[in-house]
Structure 1
Amino acid sequence: MSLQTNLEIIGISKIYDKTIKALDNVNLSFNSGVYGILGPNGAGKSTLFKILTGIVERDAGNILYNGKSIFKDIENFKNNFGYMPQNENLYPDLSVKQYLRYICLLKGIKDKSISDEIKRVLNLTDLTVKENNKINSLSGGMKRRLLLCTALINDPSLLFLDEPTAGLDPKQKAEVRNLISSLMENKIILISSHLTEDIENIAKEVVFIDSGRVVLKDSTNKILRYYKNICFESIISKEDYHELQGKIPISRVSQISNDKIYIRVYDKNIAKEVLSKYSFQAANPNLEEVYLYIFEGDNNV
């Protein structure tokens, strides 16, 4: 019988320069599965990851891993997680294999097991053909996959992935998302992103963070049901589209003919006369439209 993995964040706060609240009394709990942490730049997502990984000290609160505080022995806790940072910090003159060997040594893997572990993570991330290439010859997308490789070394029970698909093309993004989904059994995987497409189809739950505070935490389906009344769609003329620009929040526009435009808008409180005038009909929102509504639109629900 497999053991359940649990991570509990209790009242975590972080203040910079005595006044800037990067995190403000954050309370979250996770068990095995994939979780998306969404928010605009500066919301506190990366700060939360840096506290979880011991890079930054918290000012208040506690974090429990399987019921025990991680701060009592942060070095031992580091054996339980893999971290993929948002910013690259690689050694450009090393080959991919050399770099992964270096990471294996840092993580305390025995020398006789290193070769097999490198093969395993390279195969998982489809980087085997690049194992002898120098890092400075890799594309941006390949470097992101190499960072994911380092997070997967030693098969940790916790994965903290900060913008894991940055710099990847659509095919590579889909491959990384599929890989993350395949890894979730008996692991907690936290994905920090501002891209809803990274989250919508693979996350067990989604956490919205803004200005260091948790705004919302729930499953995607429940979030979409809760915000079901915020989205409308219509086909309008170019002239009407230009008239509406800047007056209501627009989430999607596509031209369907020389003089007709498909438009989607997100705002619960659009005047009835506007909806009627432009023949808007209710539409089911996607997670991106909920994100826009919460962080940019009228979020009085």
Structure 2
Amino acid sequence: MNLTIDGVSKVFKERHSEKKALDKLNLEFSTGVYGILGANGSGKTTLMRIIASVMKPTEGTIYLNGRDIASLNHEYRALIGYLPQHVGLYKNFSAEKLLHYIAALKGLSKVDAKEKVDETLELVGLSRERKQKVGKFSGGMKRRIGIAQALLNDPKILIVDEPTAGLDPKERIRFRNLLSKISANRIVLLSTHIVSDIEFIAKEVLILKEGKLIKKESPNHLLSGISQKVWSLTVEEEELEKLQAGNRIGNISRIQEGFQLRIISEDKPHPDAVRVEPNLEDLYLYYFDEEEGTG
């Protein structure tokens, strides 16, 4: 399966101006997990909504196996599973009843719906809670029931937007392991600004900034690109402020000798600084060191 994004742009008209949320993106996806990394306002959610066919691009075309998805229409939508960042759930429905209701909306027969509801509840680890009301679920359980509804139609393209926002570390690990498990024969698109969500499961990471594609490479290739730009340094308190003012600092740890800093810098930031191996948090800071807008 091949999904191609060809020259896709999205412009939102505001009262006295226009805002370009996406700027002529060209992308290609095959089976596996893709992490879409970007700060707020980078265009992640807009891209996900366009791929999910709930929003139309201002210009450009999306192709599935060489066919324009606009011409495929319902045939394309039947292949999509979508978990938006904010999903509305019927709080008085049990998990089981909610999934049966959504299965009916998706056109599954009663026999197929029973099988898929049982299967997806087992997959997301909610079989024991199937009779509980969704309104009493924890945040992590609600995200899991969200992914269950997205999987009911056995989608070939699964789109999840900021799925772990607000979850504790244990639930984040559970969620990303689930996505990795189900990605064998699917295209899984995962947008996030939490780099640990994609560090171990994404075959490629896309970096979006202000609606433009900055990079699309494997995590290892991306990290090799900043391998000479991450430094470790121990300083006393009086030097700390000066270094903070002129550098991108990823981490500050108080130790017995003073403060240990992790600095992202093109050049050696201090005579005593030593190079260290980069991680994806360093990568994020390298590309998104300034506050961006929301949306």
In the alignment, which residue of structure 2 is the partner of 1:266? 264
In the alignment, which residue of structure 2 is the partner of 1:16? 12
In the alignment, which residue of structure 2 is the partner of 1:142? 141
User: In the TM superposition, what whole-angstrom CA distance separates every residue of 1:208-238 from its partner, at most 9, and x where no partner exists?
Assistant: 0111111111111111111111110022223
Write the distance in 1 (CA, Å) between the matches of 2:282 and 2:153. Answer: 38
Q: Cα–Cα, structure 1 residues 167 and 141, in superposed 2: closer, same or farther, change >3 Å?
A: farther
Write the distance in 2 (CA, Å) between the matches of 1:155 and 1:262. Answer: 49
User: In the TM superposition, what whole-angstrom CA distance separates every residue of 1:251-272 from its partner, at most 9, and x where no partner exists?
Assistant: 0112232x42221011113xx5
User: In the TM superposition, what whole-angstrom CA distance separates every residue of 1:161-194 from its partner, at most 9, and x where no partner exists?
Assistant: 1011122221111111111111111211110111
Question: Are 1:275 and 2:270 an aligned pair?
Answer: yes
In the alignment, which residue of structure 2 is the partner of 1:129? 128
Write the distance in 1 (CA, Å) between the matches of 2:252 and 2:127. Answer: 41
Query: Is the 1:144–1:167 contact (alpha carbons within 8 Å) kept by the matching residues of 2?
Result: no
Write the distance in 1 (CA, Å) between the matches of 2:281 and 2:158. Answer: 24
Residue type of the partner of 1:7? L
Question: Are 1:168 and 2:171 an aligned pair?
Answer: no
In the alignment, which residue of structure 1 is the partner of 2:293? none
In the alignment, which residue of structure 1 is the partner of 2:289? 296
Q: How does 1:71-86 map to 2 (within 5 A)?
A: 71-86=70-85
Runs of 4+ in structure 1 deviating by more than 4 angstroms, as ranges, are none
- Please state how far the C-alpha of 1:133 moved relative to its aligned partner: 1.4
Write the distance in 2 (CA, Å) between the matches of 1:232 and 1:166. Answer: 29
Residue type of the partner of 2:125? D
In the alignment, which residue of structure 1 is the partner of 2:203? 204
Residue type of the partner of 1:268? E
RMSD, aligned CA: 1.4
Query: Is the 1:158–1:188 contact (alpha carbons within 8 Å) kept by the matching residues of 2?
Result: yes
Question: Are 1:31 and 2:30 an aligned pair?
Answer: yes
Write the distance in 1 (CA, Å) between the matches of 2:242 and 2:58. Answer: 50
Q: How does 1:50-89 map to 2 (within 5 A)?
A: 50-89=49-88
Query: Is the 1:39–1:45 contact (alpha carbons within 8 Å) kept by the matching residues of 2?
Result: yes
Aligned residue for 1:118, secondary structure, equals: helix
Query: Is the 1:141–1:166 contact (alpha carbons within 8 Å) kept by the matching residues of 2?
Result: no
- Please state how far the C-alpha of 1:243 moved relative to its aligned partner: 3.6
Residue type of the partner of 1:179? L
Write the distance in 2 (CA, Å) between the matches of 1:209 and 1:89. Answer: 27
Query: Is the 1:144–1:166 contact (alpha carbons within 8 Å) kept by the matching residues of 2?
Result: no
- Please state how far the C-alpha of 1:198 moved relative to its aligned partner: 0.6
In the alignment, which residue of structure 2 is the partner of 1:7? 3
Query: Is the 1:32–1:187 contact (alpha carbons within 8 Å) kept by the matching residues of 2?
Result: yes
Write the distance in 2 (CA, Å) between the matches of 1:156 and 1:20. Answer: 32
Q: TM-score, normalised by structure 1?
A: 0.91
In the alignment, which residue of structure 2 is the partner of 1:152? 151
Identity %: 38
- Please state how far the C-alpha of 1:149 moved relative to its aligned partner: 0.9
